[in-house]
Chain A
Amino acid sequence: MAGRIEVSEQNAVMAQPQLIHARSDAPFYFAFAILGSTYVILIIAMLIADLGFTTTSHLLQALSSPEIRYAIKLSLISCTITTILSLWVGVPLGYMLSRFQFPGKGAVDAILDIPIVLPPLVIGLSLLILFQTPVFRALDDRFPITYAVPSVILAQFSVACAFAVRTMRITFDQINPRGEQVALTLGCTRGQAFWMVVLPEARRGVMTAATLAWARSLGEFGPILIFSGATRLRTEVLSTTVFLELSVGNIEAAVAVSLLMIAAAIIVLTLLRLFGSESTFGKAVEP
C-alpha cells in the first residue's frame, strides 16, 4: 500500500512541467552591440578626424588647382568608362557562370578570384609586364596605352570587373531560371529571353554591380601608380593626387582631396541605391 502511494507521488512529480528560469538576454545584445559598433565607430571617427583636419579654404584651394581639377575630371570619366566596360563583360560572364555547365567552368571561376585576392601592386606590375610582350608592345606602339589615359581605365577595369562578375553571378543565381524557360516555350530565342525576361529582373543586381565597379575604380591606386605612372595633368586620378600631395608634404591638400573622394563616393552610392530600389525604379518607368 505504501509502495503504491510512493509511485503515485512520483507520477505526480513527473507530471509537473519542468520550468526554466530564463536569464536576461541583455548581456547578449550588449556584447554584440559593442563588438559590432567598434568598426562603425572606427569609420565615423576617421571621417570626423578628416573633417576636423581640413578647412573650407583648404578645400577651395585644392579645387582651384588645375592639377587637382584635372584629376577630378579624369577620375569621374575613367570610373564611368570602367563601370560600363565592367558591366559589358560582367553581365554575360556572370550569366554564363550561373546558367551553363561548360568544360573548365571551375577554372574560370577560380581565375576570376585572382584580381580580388592579388595585391594591387602585383596587378599593376603584371599589366606592365604584359605590355612588354611583343603583341601588346606592338599594340601599345600603335595605340599608346601604358603611361596614358587608357592605362588608367585598363588598370581600374582589371580589378573592378571581377567584382561586377561576382555580383552578376549571384544576381542571376537568385533569379528562377523557369521564367526564361517559359519564355523559350512562348517563342523566344535565348537572346530574347535574356533581354526581355532575365535582364529586367536583374536590374537591381546590375545597379549593385555598377556601384561596386565605380567605387572600386575610384579607390584604385596601386595598379594605376605602376602601370600608368603619376604624371600630373596626364594620368593623375584622385587617389594618385593624395599620394603626390603627401609625398611633397602637403597634408592639407591630401586630406582635402580625400574628403572630395569620400563625398563623391557617398553621393554615387546614395544615388545608385535610390535608383536601384524597387519603388523608385517603378516610379521612374511609369508613363
Chain B
Amino acid sequence: MIVVKALNVRAATFALNDISFEIPNGAYGVLMGKTGSGKTTLLEALCGLRASLGGTIEFMGRDVTQLKPAERGIGYVPQDRALFSTMTIREHLAFALELRKWNDADIAKRVGELAELLGIAKLLHRQPLGLSGGEAQRVALGRALSCRPGVLILDEPLSALDDETRQEMYALLKIVREQSHVTALHVTHSRSEAQLLGDTLLKLEDGAVVPMNRPDDFAVKDSFAASSTSKGAAQ
C-alpha cells in the first residue's frame, strides 16, 4: 500500500504542495499528468532521491519519509531505463540480490525466474549496448523486481516504445502484477495506458494529485474531446 499525506516537494522551478493520495495493497496505480507537471519530481520524492519538505510517505504500512532510498523497499524503473553500461543483463538482475548477500544458488534461481518471466533468457550474457527499446525496458523491470520489492515505481516506462512493443509490454506488466502482487505506481501521460493498466487512477494537475473516477472521467473527457474535434472540423 502506498499512502502519501500532505507531501511538500520543491524542484528548481516549481513546488508540489500538500500532495495526498493512496494506492491500496497490490493495486496498480496510474498517475497521469501533462509534461512538466511535476510527475518525475513526485516520483523522485517517493524514491527518496529528492528531499521531502513536509508530509509523510508510507509504503506497506511503514513510514519511509526519512529513510534512504536503499531502505524503502522499492523497485524503480526510470524513464530512460538507466541500465548499467558495464554490466551484463545477468549482473543487472543479480545486482540487488548480491547487495542483500543472497547465496549464489538462490541468485541463479531468482535470475532464471525473472529471465523466464520477462522473456530475456537469451540476453543474459549481453551488455545493454545494442538492446532494443523493449528489451531494455524488460531488463530495467527485471532489475527493479529482482529483490521482490513491496512497491514498484515506473516513470513513463512505455513512452519511447513502438506500438507493437508497447502492446507486448502491457501484457507483460499485467502478468508481472498478477505474479508479484506488487503495489505499483505507474506514471504516464497516455490515457490509453492508464485505462488499460490502472485500477487506481490519479491525475497531477496544478500542483495537486486528484483521483480520476474511471471510466466516467475518461468518458466525460473523451466526449468533450470528441465534441471539440467535431466543432473544430465543422468550423
Interface size class on chain B is 20 to 34
Looking at the complex, which one of B83, B86, B100 makes contact with A187 (CB distance below 8 Å)? B100
Chain A facing B: main interface SS: helix
The verdict on B186 contacting chain A, using a C-beta distance below 8 Å, is no
Nearest B residue to A182 by beta-carbon distance? B82
Chain A interface, number of residues (Cβ within 8 angstroms):
18
Tell me if A179 and B84 are in contact (CB < 8 A).
yes
B74, A187: Cβ atoms closer than 8 Å: no
Interface string of B81-101 (1 = CB under 8 A from A): 011111100000001100110
- CB pair A186 B147 closer than 8 Å: yes
B149 to chain A, nearest CB (A): 9
| A203, B84: Cα distance in complex, Å | 13
Bound together, the chains give a CA A280 to CA B155 distance in angstroms of 36
B174 near A: Cβ within 8 Å? no
Complex contact B147–A179 (CB within 8 A): no
A85 at the interface (CB under 8 A from B): no
Indicate with 1 or 0, residue by residue over B145-174, a CB within 8 angstroms of chain A CB atoms.
011000000000000000000000000000
How many A-B residue pairs have C-beta atoms within 8 angstroms? Tell me: 66
B49 engages A184 (CB within 8 Å): yes
For the complex, give the distance between the alpha carbons of A197 and B143 in Å.
14
Given the interface contacts A200-B86, A201-B86, does A181 sit within 8 Å of B96 by beta carbon? no
Q: Are B74 and A185 touching (Cβ within 8 A)?
A: yes
Interface residues of B in 65-117 (CB under 8 A from A): 68-70, 72, 74-76, 78, 80, 82-87, 95-96, 99-100
Contact A181 B82 (CB under 8 A): yes
CB pair B82 A184 closer than 8 Å: no
Q: A185-B70, A186-B147 are in contact. Are A179 and B82 (CB under 8 A)?
A: yes
Interface centre among A179, A187, A200 (most CB of B within 10 A): A187
Q: Which of B44, B83, B95 contacts A186 (CB 8 A)?
A: B95
Query: For residues 28 through 67 of chain B, which have their beta carbon under 8 Å from a beta carbon of chain A?
Result: 44, 47-49
